[in-house]
Structure 1
Amino acid sequence: MTEPQTRTLQTPGAVLTYDVRPGSSASEPPLLLIGSPMGAAGFGTLAAHFRDRTVVTYDPRGVERSRRTDGSTETTPEEHAEDLSRLIAAVGAGPVDVFASSGGAVNALLLVARHPEQVRALVAHEPPALQLLPDREQALTATRQVQNAYLARGFGAGMAGFIRLVGHRGPVPGDLGDVPDPAAFGLPAEDDGSRDDVLLAHNLLSCTSYEHDLEALRRASTRIVVAVGAGSEGELAHRCAEALAERLGTAPVVFPGDHGGFLGGEYGQTGEPEAFAGTLQEVLAADRDAVPARG
């Protein structure tokens, strides 16, 4: 794989930075690897396993190298989806394949609902689509508690609450109790006064509370594969993915590792990237006619 070619794209309210890694063959469509708020840096290891095709990664608006130009303090899935649509158009290679994880999967599902002609196949890995859960009200309340802790006490408190929530296994109770001590997670207890964290301030509530257009997803020409991690069973995003697959009339595909199974040391986290990439290659290569019809 050649060195990434870094480019920028101006969209309404933001300037996006993205990377293109040309592949050795043009027989397969480009592959977009996307997260949110995870940026392009999180997909370096996974991208290296797809040398035969062009791989595109990007930093979502407000993340790392991509900057907002509109001064907004919240980013919505609608904005992310339209950014992705413009990014695909800028790459200029027709329908693409997309692997999208976490908040990136929420945004990619909206992209497919609005612009199915741009995506041949979408692998949606553990989207935190809380509205699909039977315990949606408790989950949404707990998510608001995380943001409230961040607004009241700063990054350490907010992130401690976030880690506890996403790692909780099983239905979310009506009261999780007070946000845990940040020190228990190696996080700073002091408040530096900032309130511009891209996860806790800009994306958390808009992403998790988004109500997906399931009918549009069922009608879409895009092949949608819902993915879950073998090591994240019972966790919030895993449960959301299972609920999504059920609503779409499919079975989730189990990938190696947990919610970050594709990571190879990025952001200090290591999953099972080689095995994860192998499963992704198999899923993308599968005959779409072998996938059960949604409905």
Structure 2
Amino acid sequence: MSERDELFGIAEVSARIGLEPDTIRYFERQRVIPSPRRDSAGHRQYTTADVELIRMLVHLRETGMPLADIAQFTGADNKVADLAGLRVELLTAHRRRVQDRREELDRALDVITRKIMDFSDRITGSVNLLERTDCTIAFDVQGEGPLLFLVGAPAGRAGFAPLAHELSDRYTVVTHDPRGVGASRAVLGMAAPTPEVLAEDLAALVDRLTGGPALFVGTSGGAVTLLELAKQYSEMVGRAVLHEPPLVSLVADSKLADRAAAVFEAAEADPQRAVQEFFDLSGAAHHTGPDQTPPAHMSMPELPAEELEKNRYFLGQMAGPSVFYVPDIEAIRRVAITLCAGSLSHHQLARRATQMLAERLGLPLVDMPGNHLGASSEPSEFAKDLKRLLEP
């Protein structure tokens, strides 16, 4: 008897799939899965195809597909002429629901991570401080090995905390809050957080910790900071990995540039609207493969006052100079850099911009786990790939 012809009793199916026999019987009674054939004694007999169908049911149920949709998917009601077509339709709709839920969880994870870092600072009081002429920069150092700086804008110590932990077994990892972010709070008279100023802050931090070249990983606006660091302080850069610098300046799309400019202009007076519009134009919280495009609009929840204030600063002062920054291609060629983008960031602003930068530099674009937020949402897998990219 071939595997395809093999028959299984309900106890064997239960053991293979992890569903109790009573649960399987319940789904049959509710017409969620088709009733199997029975032997002469009335015992259920399941084919390999039946087992795989029930296994799929488990996956669909665990990811939140309604039982009514599952019943249609399995064909238990026997009312559908084109079952294959219906299954594609149901799975496509369910994939969108799962992606939306994952994006909600990613946003929640980012907030939780920042709060963990905030409360950890209050408990330990271990934050290091770098005094600048117009502000104070908070930074952390952990691990052992070659010096590695994780650079973001606006992402700081909290956003990089999980990734820093994953990398600290091989590197001495340095994270810092850019000026105006986290413990590096904005102060009266502080210079605006342009890429040029942020690169000077970073250079001062490098000087504080080492006299020679170091390793760098920059994500989003932090990748733009590293482009400017390479221009001003190329001798500091031993190797740099840049993940999705969102350079609108490189994307030949005047409408996109106008939308971005309008977002930054609106941020001071209406940060909630600015966040929504920036979310829609960037697509950065979505997960899109090569054959997918991010939705044109997805409503954001109302943000608490603390988050609104942070985005008033980020979108009103920091993001604009970063996304409209024009990189010096010849200066960048003087340093060893790797350009990468999320494998689930296709057709999003930052990946499009990074692809344009890669083409100008004649470099490949390396896929990384996750989307634009992969460094914080998938730190373990992201760290594994980074370790490979940072090797000499």
Once residues 340 and 214 of structure 2 are traced to their aligned partners in structure 1, the CA distance between those partners, rounded to angstroms, is: 18
Q: 2:320 — aligned with what?
A: 205
Compute the displacement of 1:202 (Å).
1.4
Compute the displacement of 1:194 (Å).
6.2
Q: 1:258 — aligned with what?
A: 371
Give the TM-score of the pair, scaled to structure 2: 0.61
Once residues 275 and 164 of structure 1 are traced to their aligned partners in structure 2, the CA distance between those partners, rounded to angstroms, is: 27
Q: Which runs of 4+ in 1 moved over 6 A?
A: 192-196
Change (3 A) 1:284 1:160: same
Compute the displacement of 1:207 (Å).
1.0
Once residues 186 and 114 of structure 1 are traced to their aligned partners in structure 2, the CA distance between those partners, rounded to angstroms, is: 40
Q: 1:266 — aligned with what?
A: none
Contact 1:102 1:127 in 2 (8 A): yes
SS of structure 1 residue aligned to 2:212: coil
Identity of aligned residues (%): 34
Once residues 149 and 282 of structure 2 are traced to their aligned partners in structure 1, the CA distance between those partners, rounded to angstroms, is: 25
Compute the displacement of 1:146 (Å).
1.1
Q: Deviations over 1:121-151 (max 9, x none)?
A: 110100011111122x222211112123334
RMSD of equivalent CA atoms: 2.7
Once residues 136 and 257 of structure 2 are traced to their aligned partners in structure 1, the CA distance between those partners, rounded to angstroms, is: 31
Change (3 A) 1:196 1:101: closer
Contact 1:5 1:21 in 2 (8 A): no
Compute the displacement of 1:52 (Å).
2.2
Q: Deviations over 1:231-266 (max 9, x none)?
A: 001100011111111111101111010001121xxx
In the alignment, is residue 121 of structure 1 matched against residue 121 of structure 2? no
2:379 to 259, 273, 281: 273
Q: 1:187 — aligned with what?
A: 302
Gaps of 5+ in 2: 1-123, 289-295
SS of structure 2 residue aligned to 1:65: coil
Q: Which has the larger radius of gyration?
A: 2
Contact 2:267 2:312 in 1 (8 A): no
In the alignment, is residue 92 of structure 1 matched against residue 213 of structure 2? no
Change (3 A) 1:195 1:43: closer
1:18 to 139, 146, 166: 139
2:276 to 160, 173, 176: 160
Aligned ranges 1:129-144 → 2 under 5 Å: 129-135=247-253, 137-144=254-261
> Higher helix share goes to which structure?
2
Once residues 234 and 263 of structure 2 are traced to their aligned partners in structure 1, the CA distance between those partners, rounded to angstroms, is: 34
Change (3 A) 1:157 1:88: same
Gaps of 5+ in 1: 171-178, 264-270, 288-295
SS of structure 2 residue aligned to 1:66: coil
Once residues 261 and 220 of structure 2 are traced to their aligned partners in structure 1, the CA distance between those partners, rounded to angstroms, is: 18
Compute the displacement of 1:73 (Å).
7.5
Change (3 A) 1:17 1:201: same
Contact 1:37 1:198 in 2 (8 A): no
In the alignment, is residue 146 of structure 1 matched against residue 263 of structure 2? yes
Contact 2:139 2:174 in 1 (8 A): yes
Contact 2:151 2:175 in 1 (8 A): yes
SS of structure 1 residue aligned to 2:137: strand
Once residues 237 and 338 of structure 2 are traced to their aligned partners in structure 1, the CA distance between those partners, rounded to angstroms, is: 12
Aligned ranges 1:165-184 → 2 under 5 Å: 165-167=281-283, 184=299
Residue type at the aligned position of 1:284? L
Contact 2:135 2:190 in 1 (8 A): no
Of structures 1 and 2, the one scoring higher in RCO (CA 8 A, sep 6+) is 1
Q: 1:176 — aligned with what?
A: none
Mean CA deviation greater in 195-204 or 99-108: 195-204
Contact 1:157 1:189 in 2 (8 A): no
Contact 2:266 2:316 in 1 (8 A): no
Contact 1:160 1:187 in 2 (8 A): no
SS of structure 1 residue aligned to 2:337: strand
Aligned ranges 1:42-121 → 2 under 5 Å: 42-50=159-167, 51-72=169-190, 74-121=192-239
Once residues 210 and 217 of structure 1 are traced to their aligned partners in structure 2, the CA distance between those partners, rounded to angstroms, is: 14
Equivalent pairs, count: 258
SS of structure 2 residue aligned to 1:105: helix
Contact 2:191 2:197 in 1 (8 A): no
Once residues 89 and 193 of structure 1 are traced to their aligned partners in structure 2, the CA distance between those partners, rounded to angstroms, is: 34
Contact 2:268 2:312 in 1 (8 A): no
1:40 to 134, 143, 157: 157
SS of structure 2 residue aligned to 1:123: strand
SS of structure 1 residue aligned to 2:372: coil
Compute the displacement of 1:158 (Å).
0.9
Q: 1:229 — aligned with what?
A: 342
Once residues 211 and 19 of structure 1 are traced to their aligned partners in structure 2, the CA distance between those partners, rounded to angstroms, is: 30
